[in-house]
């Protein structure tokens, strides 16, 4: 088998601490480099997931010496819950997912932070902040509740909307009011008998405004 060097092994081991033993999940088995590192680092058992049958066959050769400490599942990492359910596991001691640059960008959300005692919660927050600074730690029972998650989702949706220039007859207050109601207005100015508005709008609102006679052009991509 050709050599394959998994990335950020030291960082993954420092974060996951397999030396304490327990069950760990490698969501992206590939050729088995990370799974092998977890096993060598002290993990009692590694559940390794991959949807590529050829990669699994090669990884089996690499990991064969670890016997029943390795449990390989031919599945997509998005089905992690079903994989664990099939093994009667409600929780594991650590999860590793080497998603790579080709995957969709993600923001991790950790819920039920109120269930972690004070000093431990501080340690968890610090470790997550170092590993994934954009992560959100929330709790429906804490001050602010799920507001940080709602704000993050609202901001993500806003960012996906293009910036538009919308030209509306100054006499058509109804259309202008709809732009303010449905979108995020960035700038507004008068150009003789036309109101020129720069705003972010979703596709449905754009369609309605165009149908009602507004002239709309995209000035910046989402």
Output the DSSP codes for 13-69: HHHH-GGG--EEEES--TTSHHHHHHHHTT-SEEEEEES-HHHHHHHHHHHGGGGGG
Confidence of residue 115 (pLDDT cuts 50, 70, 90): confident
Residues 18 and 44 in one domain: yes
Residues 155 and 61 in one domain: no
Burial zone of 147 (CB within 10 Å; 0-12 exposed, 13-18 middle, 19+ buried): exposed
Q: What is the pTM of this model?
A: 0.47
Residues 49 and 85 in one domain: yes
Cα separation of 73 and 48, whole Å?
A: 6
Residue numbers of the domain that contains 130: 107-159
pLDDT at residue 91, rounded to an integer: 86
Residues 176 and 137 in one domain: no
Is residue 4 scored above 90 in pLDDT? no
Residues 165 and 155 in one domain: no
Residues 84 and 45 in one domain: yes
Contact 57, 49 (CB under 8 A): no
Residues 29 and 80 in one domain: yes
Is residue 48 scored above 90 in pLDDT? yes
Q: Say how many domains are in the chain.
A: 3
Is residue 1 scored above 50 in pLDDT? no
| CATH number for the domain that contains residue 208 | 3.30.70.240
Residues 84 and 168 in one domain: no
- Give the helix/strand (H/E) hosting 95: strand 94-96
Residues 148 and 176 in one domain: no
User: What are 50-109's pLDDT values in tens digits?
Assistant: 988 888 998 999 999 999 999 999 998 888 889 999 999 988 999 998 765 444 556 677
| CATH number for the domain that contains residue 81 | 3.40.50.150
Residues 89 and 38 in one domain: yes
**Does 150 or 75 have the greater pLDDT score?**
75
**Does 5 or 110 have the greater pLDDT score?**
110
Bridge partners, 51 (sequence order): none
Residues 41 and 89 in one domain: yes
What are the phi and psi torsion angles at 31 (to 5°)?
-95, 10
Residues 96 and 113 in one domain: no
């Amino acid at each position: 088998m050709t050599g394959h060097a998994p990335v950020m092994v030291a960082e993954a081991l420092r974060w996951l601490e397999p030396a304490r033993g327990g069950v760990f999940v490698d969501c992206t088995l590939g050729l088995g480099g990370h799974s092998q590192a977890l096993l060598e680092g002290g993990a009692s058992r590694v559940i390794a997931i991959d949807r590529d049958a050829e990669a699994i066959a090669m990884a089996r050769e690499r990991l064969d010496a670890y016997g029943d400490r390795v449990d390989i599942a031919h599945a997509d990492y998005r089905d992690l819950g079903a994989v664990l359910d099939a093994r009667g596991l409600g929780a594991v001691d650590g999860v590793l997912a080497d998603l790579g640059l080709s995957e969709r960008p993600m923001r991790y959300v950790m819920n039920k932070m109120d269930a972690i005692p004070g000093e431990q919660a501080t340690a968890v927050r610090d470790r997550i902040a170092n590993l994934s600074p954009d992560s959100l730690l929330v709790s429906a029972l804490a001050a602010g509740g799920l507001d940080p998650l709602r704000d993050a989702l609202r901001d993500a949706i806003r960012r996906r909307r293009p910036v538009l220039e919308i030209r509306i007859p100054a006499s058509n207050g109804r259309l202008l009011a709809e732009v303010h109601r449905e979108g995020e207005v960035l700038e507004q100015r008068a150009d003789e008998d036309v109101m020129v508005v720069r705003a972010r709008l979703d596709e449905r609102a754009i369609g309605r405004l165009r149908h009602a006679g507004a002239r709309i052009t995209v000035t910046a991509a989402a």
